[in-house]
Chains A and B, each alone.
Chain A
Amino acid sequence: MARKVSNRRRVIMSIIAWVMAFLIFFPILWTIILSFKTEGDAIRAPLQVLTSGWTLESYHTVFERSNYFRHFMNSVVISFGSVFLALVIAIPAAWAMAFVPGKRTKDVLMWMLSTKMMPAVGVLVPIYLMFRDWGLLDTRIGLIIVLCLMNLPIVIWMLFTYFKEIPNDILEAARMDGATLGSEIIYVLTPMAIPGIASTLLLNVILAWNEAFWTLNLTAAKAAPLTAFIAAYSSPEGLFYAKLSAASTLAIAPILILGWFSQKQLVRGLTFGAVK
């Protein structure tokens, strides 16, 4: 039976939802506003910030001082590269867990997820030393590997949830039709799971794009992505608010646009399996 909701209650709930959405979005909005102000205006009281004049000065300075496109390309290569690598590893892993589960499959999945609960700084020193010895510091491939490993548990979990929804009969039919394990994954499982793989890819690209801890600690100049580009404009004194905001806006704009256009896919990906 449908639950009855009074109009008053509906209005109140809508207002609360809008306020919460605004609060969540506010830091981004404020960053965008500050990026169009002079350094002087940016540090004024909020009301004065809003009433002061608008300028593209900070953007000019940021483009003059740093190579935005190099950082942007690094971000693209690192985030997409790490997620593609993770998918190559995760698809067979999730296949095994979803269709040939063993007694300990659930435990293995939980263990994988538990690694995400460990603070990254706990393994910073050993990873840094390994990267130094293997010549991976400040390289795109180094960051692709480390971000792939960081996101792998989430990628496997998401794909596992998707694969669980695919009827086993279809894979058995493929086996009867003469498909080898490889053909079964390539011709049957993967095309059927494309919506799930797409949303896994999107979400993890966003996570990798926004990742700052490893990108800041393992890069210096050559492989530095947009997170390092933002960090270059932060200073302890906080004197460069406008430039920092311009850099941040430039860094988040691509992923914000990607997120906006793929929000349907993302919501579906995050809520998949919640209802049949």
Chain B
Amino acid sequence: MGQIELKGVTKRFGDVEVIPPLDLMIDEGEFVVFVGPSGCGKSTLLRLIAGLEDVSGGHIEIDGADATDLPPAKRSLAMVFQSYALYPHMSVRKNIAFPLKMAKIDPAVAKEKVENAARVLNLGDYLERRPGQLSGGQRQRVAIGRAIVREPAAFLFDEPLSNLDAALRVNMRLEISELHQKLKTTMVYVTHDQVEAMTMADKIVVLRAGHIEQVGSPLELYRSPRNLFVAGFIGSPKMNFIEGAEAAKHDAHTIGIRPEHTLVSATEGRWKGKVTVSEHLGSDTFLHVETEHGLINVRGDGEVSLHAGDTAYLSPDESQLHRFDAQGMAI
């Protein structure tokens, strides 16, 4: 249960094609994250799977059956929205029970399911409250509870953590990952935050302008980005790119090196530069170094005693260099 396949799916709004023909296979029980910059079509793609938007072409299959023309409720999918989308006039209990009421489930069975979901999500004490009386994190848990009780074939998450503060976001991220491990149900998760994508996903789908740029596990994307876009998008701080003579030495149009794969020294190294900004976090030190090849970001382990204005020498780890051709594709 929970296999989703997109076959040549397209979406047009008027004359604008936001999703060109796209094929994708989401396997049963997988945690798949759609990631990409704003406007890349990731939310549209999720809404197409959900049935909230009609496809302009192609087919969507859920568990082998054609679901292209099925209404959202018949697709056996549950969705968690960015805005939580709770029913403000209903208590938490009624919010969670709503899908069961719509499915005409026996009230006694529904009550038990709601209480189970509330227990899993630590909402037991809040069942009689209205959404307006809950914090952001609690609201998001209610939204997840409403999705869980349906026992769907797959969960769809549309940037569910965007409205939460940073600390809560980390907690909820863990909770959703734990939930996935517990339920083992397919989850499709949309985010623009690549840290969320890297930490949660079994499989990441990187999108740009409706195109799939690369599909792979987080580490595959990190280690072997297919092109400049994926290389720049995955990893934080982002990869440094160098063109010209330095790249030509490696038989490439562009070379890329991640900040954590560049050694920094105050005395010796391959590229000389001047520190423009230094960020000391204790666990790491981020340096922005202006070199003859342009601005290069470096991450040093622990405390590195270099500050703005100091001279720094950088040495890339040759084994971690990424090479790209003139079209931006990895060599």
Interface residues of chain A, those whose CB is within 8 Å of chain B, are 167, 169-170, 172-180, 183, 187-188, 191-192, 194
Contact = CB atoms under 8 A, between A and B. Distances in A.
Contacts of A175: 52, 71-73
A169 B73 CA distance: 15
A183 B104 CA distance: 12
B222 interface: no
A275 B173 CA distance: 36
A191 B89 contact: yes
Max chain A C-beta neighbours (<10 A), residue from B50, B78, B102: B102
Nearest to B52: A172
Contacts of A172: 52, 72, 79, 81, 85
Nearest to B103: A178
B285 interface: no
Contacts of A188: 87
Interface string B84-98: 011111000000001
Given A169-B85, A172-B52, A178-B73, A183 B102 contact: yes
Contacts of A173: 79, 81, 85-87, 143, 146
A177 B83 contact: no
Nearest to A191: B89
B113 interface: no
B150 interface: yes
B83 A169 contact: yes
B76 to A, nearest CB: 10
The 3 closest A-B pairs by CB, nearest first: A178-B102, A173-B85, A177-B99
Given A172-B72, A180-B73, A192-B88, 11 more contacts: A170-B86, A170-B87, A173-B85, A173-B87, A177-B73, A177-B78, A177-B99, A178-B73, A178-B99, A179-B73, A180-B102
B201 interface: no
Nearest to B158: A169
Given A167-B83, A169-B81, A183-B102, A176 B73 contact: yes
Interface in B310-327: none
Nearest to A173: B85
Nearest to B143: A173
Contacts of A191: 89
A121 B147 CA distance: 57
A180 to B, nearest CB: 8
B77 interface: yes
B2 to A, nearest CB: 16
A177 B52 contact: no
A20 B14 CA distance: 53
A276 to B, nearest CB: 15
A183 B102 CA distance: 8
Interface in B30-58: 50, 52
Interface in B113-154: 143, 146, 150
Contacts of B85: 167, 169-170, 172-173
A176 B98 contact: no
B8 to A, nearest CB: 25
A191 B94 CA distance: 13
A183 to B, nearest CB: 6
A103 to B, nearest CB: 11
Contacts of B89: 191-192, 194
